[in-house]
Amino acid sequence: MVSKNFSINSEYQNVSSVCFVAKTFCEENGVSDSTVREVELCLAEALNNIIKHSYKGEPGNKIYIDFTHKEDEFKIKLTDFGEARKNLDKPTLEFDPEDIDSLPEGGMGLFIIDQIMNKTSYEIEGNQNIFTMIKKYD
């Protein structure tokens, strides 16, 4: 098992840097290109959600990031100290896929993450919000 732990401030410009670190970490551990792209997408969506919803777009708040690579999985654990999620239901999308005008402009991040990742969990421990995503490999 190999791990990497670090933190960033809650600023949108930091998201791409974290995705680059995840990409490099995955590549160094033999993760396929297609899985790396999926991990990057989900990581960007999750971090943007934390910044926008948990920290209300306010910069300067900490987000702790833990990557763990095992033989057959990549685990991402994101911890923040902002406002907790209120809706913990499984994400769904309500639109007509035949009508492009009905596509939502936002609100698809958690749905995308849920579709791509093999497992996700959200926990509140004291003042910490902990979002964990696991992607299994073949």
Residue 79 has pLDDT above 70, yes or no: yes
What pTM was estimated for this model as a whole?
0.89
- Into how many domains does the chain fold? 1
Q: Looking at residue 51, which CATH number applies to its domain?
A: 3.30.565.10
How much is the average pLDDT of 60-78?
Answer: 97
How much is the average pLDDT of 89-104?
Answer: 63
pLDDT at position 110 is 84
Of the candidate ranges 37-46, 77-86, 99-108, 110-119, the one whose mean pLDDT is the lowest: 99-108
CB-CB contact of 54 with 129 (8 Å):
yes
How much is the average pLDDT of 103-126?
Answer: 84
Print the domain residue range for 81: 2-136
Q: pLDDT band at residue 85, thresholds of 50, 70 and 90?
A: confident
